[in-house]
Amino acid sequence: MRMTSAVLTAFLLATSAATLHAQVTERPLPRLVKKDGRFALFVDGAPYLMLGAQVHNSSAWPGMLPKVWPAMEYLNVNTVEIPVYWEQFEARRGQFDYTLIDTLLREARQHRVHLVLLWFGTWKNGSQHYTPEWMKREPDRYPHMVDKNGHAVDSPSPYATAALEADKTAFTAFLRHLKVADPERTVILVQVENEPGTWGRVRDYSPAAQKLFEAPVPPEVLSAMQVKAASPSPNWQEAFGPEAEVCFHAWSVARYVGQVAAAGKAVYPLPLYANAALRDPLKPGAPGTYESGGPTDNVLAIWKVAAPALDILAPDIYENDPVVYLKVLELYHRADNALFVPETGGPGNARFFFSALGLGAIGFSPFGMDYTVTRASADASRPREEFLAPWAMNNRLIGPMQREIARLNFEGKLQAVAEEKGKITQTLAFGPWNAVVSYGARRNNPAEGNPEPTGRVLVAQLKENQFLVAGYFCRVDFRPADAGRERQFLRVEEGTYENGVFKFLRIWNGDETDWGLNFGEEPVVLRVSLATY
Ligand code: DGJ
């Protein structure tokens, strides 16, 4: 067929529009990938490290966003965690309002960040405070949990079937909209509910719940929890003894959240996660003293079998005791769970980003990182960035090379640590080399630890005798694993990563290398080539 020039022009325009559309729509879906026992979040087809920040709870309203973006810019994040409120999304039953989501998508793209959207649905911190008004006005249809005396408590019943159906419908509408509105994959991960479970009560005592509590435990729960029970089909009490009620509530809540997640995932298969209000893993206390029913460390296996549509169970870490903090990281870094810290806080805790990286974390995000909160007058003279500064330091260092760091970690080539009080040196083994990290070392004097534990560092093996080293407030040196040999620096290059390429800035030698490689408060990245003599 011969084409006239007008037909040809129209054809070319149509093809290029189709190609453009295809380019956008064909952007790969974010996905969680596991290989050789390690996890990575793939964004645009390659490992991606979420340098995140979560906003305050009421900061996702369009009028508040001008107080969000400047904080995110200051923090140098690549990912913003921000809520979607069910009460806004479905203020009228069955009518979904996408305007807030669209505003978030548009503004995030303008600010060149990805989003993790937080579905404040049936549960928010154990309560149902974000359910729409029309649900709150019908407590008989959308019931709260009841205590042993039959009194309603401030937590939704995981056996409220109408609420479950409503949440599934709303969450599905939310994800269906994302599927259409977000071919760019601005949204890379969605949190289902927020800290689901119950404060102050261990479980629901509604008739439906009671009947199931007395029934046999599902066999998959018994095997996930490795229960060796006396009888073949034990009920919850027989199987779990003093932990029976908390295990039962975890199963009840996880099944509900899992059904919401599965319904959304069926229309748009983004990676999904649930977050936990922790219990202290070292001194947990009896059930009832921590939020019951959420993915706390003692019931992770129950959540995994009851809610398989969730890709990740993630700890919100507000612990100030470093031993507890590190224990939590260890407990959520499992063969069946990628480590992701969606919320954290606390003075001095920013350095634990490096501990998380050392356990293969796919992301780390402090909470409350915006300028919406009016500070007490005593604080008014302090710069508003002061609160953000320790977290911003991490991103200033890692931001330009986050893709390299994510890839090296996924390939098992990276180790990272943070300073612990009283631990003056840490040794990281890399085959023929040991990287020796010390804190508070000056010239050739012995290290004494920093006055406050602020040190943090990552070391990645690029080749057998070449390493990438980056950190703050520490010294790094290398020792041959062969004790009969000595280390010499062939070349210590300071530089930065730009678009995946190491850009040389200068060679370190003399005072800069004579006693080891010293990292202070400036973001420094070194590429170190070694030999022995
Ligand atoms: C944990 C919750 O998940 C957040 O939404 C927030 O309430 C913080 N606690 C504390 O402010």
User: Tokens 């099944």 — which residue?
Assistant: 255
For residues 362-388, give the mean pLDDT.
Answer: 79
Contact (Cβ atoms closer than 8 angstroms) between residue 68 and residue 55: yes
Closest to 81 measured CA to CA, from 105, 117, 27, 120: 117
pLDDT value of residue 382: 65
Closest to 467 measured CA to CA, from 404, 373, 379, 397: 404
* 144-180: pLDDT as tens digits: 999 999 999 999 999 999 999 999 999 999 999 999 9
Q: What's the length of the chain?
A: 533
HSE-up of 121 (CA within 13 Å, CB side)? 29
| Confidence band, pLDDT 50/70/90 cuts, at residue 1 | very low
| Confidence band, pLDDT 50/70/90 cuts, at residue 374 | low
With a pLDDT cut of 70, the percent of the chain lying above it is 93
- Which residues, in sequence order, are bridge partners of residue 81? 54, 116
Contact (Cβ atoms closer than 8 angstroms) between residue 432 and residue 456: no
Q: Which long-range contacts (CB under 8 A, 24 or more apart) does 25-32 make?
A: 25/183, 27/183, 27/184, 27/185, 28/185, 29/185, 29/269, 29/270, 30/185, 30/187, 30/188, 30/189, 30/270, 30/271, 31/271, 32/271, 32/311, 32/312, 32/338, 32/362
CA distance 472 to 379: 27
C-alpha distances (whole Å) from 308 to each of 163, 266, 268 are 20, 13, 16
CB atoms < 10 A from the CB of 378, how many? 7
For residue 427, the CA-to-ligand 1 centroid distance in Å is 36
Which protein residue has the closest C-alpha to ligand 1 atom 9?
125
For residue 201, the CA-to-ligand 1 centroid distance in Å is 19
194 lines ligand 1 (CB under 6 A): yes
pLDDT value of residue 384: 77
Which protein residue has the closest C-alpha to ligand 1 atom 6?
57
| Confidence band, pLDDT 50/70/90 cuts, at residue 379 | low
For residue 278, the CA-to-ligand 1 centroid distance in Å is 12
The minimum-distance atom of ligand 1 relative to the CA of 275 is 3
CA distance 17 to 398: 37
pLDDT value of residue 403: 98
- Phi and psi of 339, rounded to 5°? -80, 125
For residue 195, the CA-to-ligand 1 centroid distance in Å is 8
For residue 191, the CA-to-ligand 1 centroid distance in Å is 13
pLDDT value of residue 418: 98
Which protein residue has the closest C-alpha to ligand 1 atom 5?
57
Closest to 530 measured CA to CA, from 443, 436, 447, 451: 436
Closest to 118 measured CA to CA, from 154, 80, 91, 144: 80
- Which residues, in sequence order, are bridge partners of residue 532? 487
Mean pLDDT of the chain: 94
Residue 420: DSSP 8-state: B
191 lines ligand 1 (CB under 6 A): no
Q: How far apart are the first and last CA of the chain?
A: 75
For residue 277, the CA-to-ligand 1 centroid distance in Å is 9
- Which residues, in sequence order, are bridge partners of residue 314? 275
Pairing of strands 487-498, 501-508: antiparallel
pLDDT value of residue 500: 87
The best mutation among 341, 367, 370 to test binding of ligand 1, ranked by most ligand atoms within 8 Å of the C-beta, falls on 367
For residue 253, the CA-to-ligand 1 centroid distance in Å is 19
| Confidence band, pLDDT 50/70/90 cuts, at residue 2 | very low
365 lines ligand 1 (CB under 6 A): no
As a whole number of Å, the CA-based R_g of the chain is 26
For residue 292, the CA-to-ligand 1 centroid distance in Å is 16
For residue 102, the CA-to-ligand 1 centroid distance in Å is 24
Q: Is 18's pLDDT higher than 70?
A: no
For residue 420, the CA-to-ligand 1 centroid distance in Å is 26
* 74-132: pLDDT as tens digits: 999 999 999 999 999 999 999 999 999 999 999 999 999 999 999 999 999 999 999 99
195 lines ligand 1 (CB under 6 A): yes
125 lines ligand 1 (CB under 6 A): yes
The minimum-distance atom of ligand 1 relative to the CA of 195 is 3
Which protein residue has the closest C-alpha to ligand 1 atom 2?
125
367 lines ligand 1 (CB under 6 A): yes
The best mutation among 124, 130, 273, 343 to test binding of ligand 1, ranked by most ligand atoms within 8 Å of the C-beta, falls on 343
C-alpha distances (whole Å) from 482 to each of 54, 428, 433, 528 are 46, 15, 8, 19
57 lines ligand 1 (CB under 6 A): yes
pLDDT value of residue 387: 86
The best mutation among 125, 278, 319, 373 to test binding of ligand 1, ranked by most ligand atoms within 8 Å of the C-beta, falls on 125
The best mutation among 81, 273, 296, 316 to test binding of ligand 1, ranked by most ligand atoms within 8 Å of the C-beta, falls on 316
- The reported pTM is 0.94
C-alpha distances (whole Å) from 231 to each of 30, 190, 218, 219 are 45, 41, 13, 12
CA distance 306 to 304: 6
For residue 121, the CA-to-ligand 1 centroid distance in Å is 14
pLDDT value of residue 78: 98
Tokens of 369: 């990182």
59 lines ligand 1 (CB under 6 A): no
pLDDT value of residue 385: 82
For residue 125, the CA-to-ligand 1 centroid distance in Å is 7
The minimum-distance atom of ligand 1 relative to the CA of 368 is 11
pLDDT value of residue 185: 98
- Which residues, in sequence order, are bridge partners of residue 479? 434
Residues 104-123 as b/e (b if ≥16 CB within 10 A, e otherwise) read: bbebbeeeebbbbbbbbbbb
127 lines ligand 1 (CB under 6 A): no
| Confidence band, pLDDT 50/70/90 cuts, at residue 375 | low
54 lines ligand 1 (CB under 6 A): no
pLDDT value of residue 22: 42
